[in-house]
Amino acid sequence: MKRIHAAIRRQLHLAGGLAMTAAALAAPFNPADPPAAWEPLGLSGGGGMFTPAISPANSNLMMLNCDMSAAYISEDGGHNWRMIHQAQLRSDTGCRPAFHPTNPDLLYASSGGQLRVSRDRGHTFTPIGDLPQALRGEIAINPGDPQMLLAGTSRGQCFRSADGGATWRACAGPAGPVIGFHFDRTRAGRTLFAATDQGLWRSDDGGASWAAKTAGLPWLEIQGFAGASDAGQIALYISLRSREENGEFRGGIYRSLDRGESWSWAMGEGINRETRKADPWAYGSLPQYRQLLAADAQPLTVYAMNTSTGFHPPHHETVYRSDDGGRSWRETFFVDPRFARYNVAPNYVTASTGQSFKGGETPFGAALCNTDPNRLIQVRSDCQITHDGGRTWFNGDIYPAPGVTPKPGSAWVCNGLVVTTTWNYYLDPHEPNRHYLAYTDIGLARSLDQGRTWIWWDPRSWAPWRNTCYELAFDPGRPGLLWGAFSDVHDIPNDNIISGRHGHNGPGGVCVSRDFGATWKPEARGLPARPVTAIVLDPRSPAGQRTLYAGVFLAGVYKSTNDGRDWAPKNRGLGHPDNLRVSRVIRHPDGTLLAMICARRAAVGQPLLPEGVGLYRSADGAESWQKIEFTPRLLYPKDVSVNPLDSRDLLVGACDAGRGDLSGGLYRTRDGGQTWQRIGRQGSQTFGGYFHPGHPGWIYMTLTEGAPGAGLWLSRDDGRTWEAFQELPFANIQRVLVDPLNGRRLYISTFGGSAWRGPAEP
């Protein structure tokens, strides 16, 4: 026990440049109390969400997809969510799933383009069918004959199945990316409709033949489609791209009550038909209607989502509702707290800032319950849900802690909809009940109760570069004093940056907090306006004049010897004049510094360049650097960690470099880099490896960005054999922190799934 506890103290000394205080070390350490299961932590929401769906058999049952690989299920109307295990289903942001019309346990979904079915309410999925193309657009089930399915594909075709998805045939007629389907219930579902961005087609013989039904529409730039029918009535709705002609609004929403034989303009009283911007914050001069929703339970009720022509109502982006087929409309969605008719419950952004930051666009996705037209969900980087037809909306991505009134600095509860990247998880070395999360997109969050609830920073406290916090460093002698590495560029060193898909020239910097991260100030002089990816403190430096090191993307390593106030470059021997893309700096307790220079391309699509890429060591406080050579050569290293007991014992995660290069994996050197051995490979992109400080021989390996299976692995024999954490539902894992107070508990950061807490062994 003493050996394990001492090793964990050494790990904290390394990771944050400090040791735990006596009070923290005296806290209970109970190795007999490991967590029973994995639990998500942090602030929910914050990342892109798409393709939601609501079960017609149980309106509390919902599903949505995230653009960071995971899909989610809610069974309580959107208040709480469960991530679907990665081995069962991977997300597909381009294909809406389909719930069975009467069996709430049965649903179809796309897993990366492949059709899968669940018969147990989304807990397990199995492949089904012989679709020859990847799914795209929508899967739809005929309420009148649930064995009949329609689906769109990535090649702009429509397919149908008459046997519950087992076999599929192409539909001759519909062409273009599928927007939506409808089954005509006035004719027992034998009449089918398929809408694409190029037209609307009808089949009167169960999908055997199709005919275009767009006569009377002024043009065919189709943006949205919805159909609704009951035993006695059918209503079809199409939205066309809006145009301005001679100062008049043209296009928008059209309605057909005769199965597409004729169309009437449905831009009735109350809906936005403006042709000019009302203010500088408008999304455009014309409102575009990109989503339409209708339900069989009430065919003349239709919802429409618009882009804004101004910030304030009635010009804002909203959700319009009509109960007479589009003859008249009313606004139902007022998201900004400053609006007089504000009717959306606050989330941590609106409660902390007093405003909404939506950009005037339509949602990334929206869905209506087919049996209850008052239940609607819409998603962007947040999620709003109404159960009362738009009179009120609540947040499906977060809710306030019990008994807490939302306001700046208030606490929020994670509801499982964790869709955002985290870089590092920290326990405060002075007060271990305080936890911190370094985020992409939403900057920083902190907890005062061991991760049960979370506080988001706000305009009173955030750094000037608030998109991303990469790292924190804690003063070992003064509680509450910490430094942060911040940036307006995220995803360093992941493939968005390396490939050039995302820009990397945004600013960043170092800030200091003296109140446990509640507020941050930029006090650094001498740092270039570049993303700061690392911040490291030397605990042997004098209090009040701490030595700090910062990794600056594109600019190398900088050093301060006066508590981070003044900085100077320390790049002798580091990198290459064309590549000072520092993505990581760490310090061993013996004073050794390590810096990682990440991969670079000359241009998008070009091969990775070798200049500067690699790992560098300094034994003299960054005054000089020596390159540690890799054998074999690695062009895409991601992360480095060091054995707390031996600075020559290193782990480096690397990715395949493309064009036949299969060098990705986990590499280890025990002699400071003279020789290397690849000790693990479970996928093309290994993020890193991490030592367990209390168990010699235990090494964790993490996979990210398209991990083919489990993203977290453990070796108990120095990398000779590996065991997967199959219970962990998320696949794309980044870093591992062993709980400094309980060596049987892990905290992990992820690429798009927030943070998780769970057992230290599978």
**Per-residue confidence (pLDDT) for residue 33, from 0 to 100:** 65
Asked if residue 49 lies in contact with residue 380, where contact means CB atoms within 8 angstroms, the answer is yes
* pLDDT range class, residue 31, cuts 50, 70, 90: very low
The pLDDT tens digits for 236-258 are 999 999 999 999 999 999 999 99
Torsion angle (degrees, nearest 10) of CA 64, 75, 330, 334: -80
Indicate the Cα dihedral angle 601, 605, 606, 610, nearest 10°.
40
Mean pLDDT for the stretch of residues 288-314: 98
Listed as own residue / partner, the contacts of 714-722 with beta carbons closer than 8 Å and 24 or more positions apart are: 714/761, 714/762, 715/679, 715/680, 716/761, 718/668, 718/679, 719/666, 719/668, 719/677, 719/679, 719/680, 720/679, 722/680, 722/682
Q: Give Cα 630 distance to the centre of its chain.
A: 33
User: How many C-alpha atoms does 543 have within 13 Å on its Cβ side?
Assistant: 7
Phi and psi at 9, nearest 5°, equal -60, -40
What is the fold, at CATH topology level, of the domain defined by 1-24+422-628? Methylamine Dehydrogenase; Chain H (2.130.10)
Alpha-carbon distance 747 to 762, whole Å?
Answer: 14
The reported pLDDT for the residue numbered 235 is: 98
**pLDDT category of residue 34 using cuts at 50, 70 and 90:** low
Is residue 6 over pLDDT 90?
A: no
Confidence of residue 120 (pLDDT cuts 50, 70, 90): very high
In the chain, the amino acid numbered 248 is E
Instruction: Give the H/E segment covering residue 14.
Output: helix 2-16
Distance (Å, whole) CA 190 – CA 194: 13
Annotate 409-427 with b (16+ C-beta within 10 A) or e (fewer): ebbbbbbbbbbbbbbbbbb
* pLDDT band at residue 11 using 50, 70 and 90 as cut-offs: very low
What pLDDT, in 10s, does the model give residues 647-699? 999 999 999 999 899 999 999 999 999 999 999 999 999 999 999 999 999 99
CA pair distance 5, 240, nearest whole angstrom: 66
- pLDDT tens-digit profile of 474-513? 999 999 999 999 999 999 999 999 998 888 889 999 999 9
Query: Is 540 a residue whose pLDDT tops 60?
Result: yes
Q: Phi-psi category of 450—alpha, beta or left, where left has phi over 0 and alpha has psi -120 to 50?
A: left
Number of residues written out for the chain: 762
> Contact, 706 vs 685, CB < 8 A?
yes
β-pairing verdict for 95-96 and 135-141: parallel
Does the structure show a pLDDT above 50 at 28? no
Looking at residue 706, what is its pLDDT? 84
Domain with CATH 2.130.10.10 in the chain: 1-24+422-628
Sheet with 62-66, edge to edge strand ranges: 49-54, 62-66, 71-74, 82-83
What is the overall mean pLDDT for the chain?
Answer: 94
Give, for 559, the enclosing helix (H) or strand (E). strand 556-560
352, containing H or E segment: helix 348-353
Taking the C-alpha atoms of residue 567 and residue 260, their distance in angstroms, rounded to an integer, is 69
Q: Provide mean pLDDT across the span 537-550.
A: 98
Dist CA 657 CA 268 (whole Å): 56
- Report DSSP state, residue 134: -
Give Cα separations from 173 to 45, 395, 700 (angstroms).
40, 41, 53
Q: Tens digit of pLDDT for each residue in 188-231?
A: 889 999 999 999 999 999 999 999 999 999 999 999 999 999 99
Q: Span 82-98, mean pLDDT?
A: 97
Residue 279, C-beta contacts closer than 8 angstroms, at least 6 positions apart = 310, 311, 312, 315
Alpha carbon 355 to its chain's center: 22
pLDDT one-digit tens code per residue, 576-592: 999 999 999 999 999 99
For residue range 377-399, what is the model confidence (pLDDT) as tens digits? 999 999 999 999 999 999 999 99
The percent of residues in the chain predicted with pLDDT above 90, rounded, is: 92
pLDDT > 60? residue 24: no
Whether the pLDDT of residue 21 is over 90: the answer is no
d(Cα 711, Cα 697) in Å, to the nearest integer? Answer: 20
One-letter amino acid at 306 equals N
Decide: 487 and 506 in contact? Cβ < 8 Å.
Answer: yes
C-alpha span between 417 and 394 (Å, rounded)? 14
DSSP 443: B
> 461 in helix, strand or coil?
coil
- Residue 323: pLDDT above 70? yes
Does residue 504 or residue 272 have the better pLDDT? Answer: 272
Q: Is the peptide bond before 539 cis (omega within 30 degrees of 0)?
A: no
Bridge partners for 731 per DSSP: none
